[in-house]
Amino acid sequence: MSTPDLLSTRPAGLPQPRRYPGINWVGVITLYQREVRRFWKVGAQTVAAPVVTTLLYMLVFVVALQGARPPLHGTPFAEFVAPGLIMMAILNNAFANSSSSLIQAKIMGTATDFLTPPLSPLELTLGFTLGSATRGALVGLVTAICVLPFARLGVANILAIVWFAVAASFIMGMLGVLAGLWSEKFDHLSAVQNFVVMPMTFLSGAFYLVENLPEPFATVSHFNPFFYLIDGFRYGFIGHAESNLAVGVVGSAVLMVVMAAACWLVFRSGWRLKS
């Protein structure tokens, strides 16, 4: 005797559960909400603290050195450095969200919360990445509002602002996933933050023109993906870019695909997660 279809045997008066072809969107949304609520519960640490850090940078680079820094390509220094600081906040917080979530789950033994439900590797990648992107975008938005008293930011190209902000959030969210899965303790995660993320961030032209660097550093900087993210994001505000914007757009899109594939493969293998 064949097993009856449970959907067909439900009483007519009850709503039928939705079937989602391909992707378990209910699971993805649930995991996403878990990630958002996790960082929102400690908003003073995850949202307010990064904003305060950025304002301190503005205080040092703009207020304390007022008049000491000449315009860069005709752009006042405050307007030049502000987009870089906003992008730094996006990059660091998107990375911190997924990486801290995974390492805490591994150390505290709560990884079963997202391993037990019927979530595929793709769905796990989507849930963690979207949660990280939300934190990165939220911190970036709040930071942009708070730096307005120090820098008169205009909007030269809204599409560039949105694209590079979203790309940065997704790329760093997925990098955080890989770092969180690789790390076995918080020291490992700190090593990635201190020796990979921070150097790439500070050597990306956030505070200076890359073209003014001596060789070979100027050439090497053009192989840093953070340079294209920050430069493209800054272009959206001031209308001037050091790099080729087409290279930045295509490169960030390719990097998102590569990072997504890497996260999918690692979740699929269960490396350092199911052991």
Does residue 273 contact residue 267 with C-beta atoms inside 8 Å?
A: yes
Q: Quick check: is 1 in a domain?
A: no
C-alpha to C-alpha distances, 21 to 17, 18, 101, 124, nearest whole angstrom: 13, 10, 28, 17
Helix (H) or strand (E) holding 233: helix 225-238
The predicted structure's pLDDT at residue 275:
57
Structure-token pair, residue 15: 């709503």
- pTM for this one? 0.86
The predicted structure's pLDDT at residue 99:
95
Q: Quick check: is 2 in a domain?
A: no
pLDDT, tens only, 205-243: 888 888 888 888 788 888 999 999 999 999 999 998 988
- Residue 180 lies in domain: 30-269
Helix (H) or strand (E) holding 257: helix 245-269
pLDDT, tens only, 133-152: 999 999 999 999 999 888 88
pLDDT, tens only, 16-50: 444 445 788 999 999 999 999 999 999 899 999 99
Structure-token pair, residue 253: 């899109």
Helices first, then strands: H and E counts in the chain:
12, 0
Cis peptide before 216 (omega within 30 of 0): yes
C-alpha to C-alpha distances, 5 to 2, 8, 118, nearest whole angstrom: 9, 5, 20
Count of Cβ atoms closer than 10 Å to residue 36 Cβ: 17
- Tell me if residue 75 falls in helix, strand or coil: strand
The predicted structure's pLDDT at residue 67:
59
| CA 59 – CA 54 distance, rounded (Å) | 9
Using pLDDT thresholds of 50, 70 and 90, give the confidence band for residue 5.
very low
With 0-12 / 13-18 / 19 or more C-beta atoms within 10 angstroms meaning exposed / middle / buried, residue 75 is: middle
Closest CA to 167 of 252, 78, 55, 45: 252
Q: Quick check: is 19 in a domain?
A: no
Q: Quick check: is 6 in a domain?
A: no
Q: What total of structural domains would you count in the chain?
A: 1
133 or 3, higher pLDDT: 133
C-alpha to C-alpha distances, 254 to 44, 73, 185, nearest whole angstrom: 34, 30, 30
The predicted structure's pLDDT at residue 19:
44
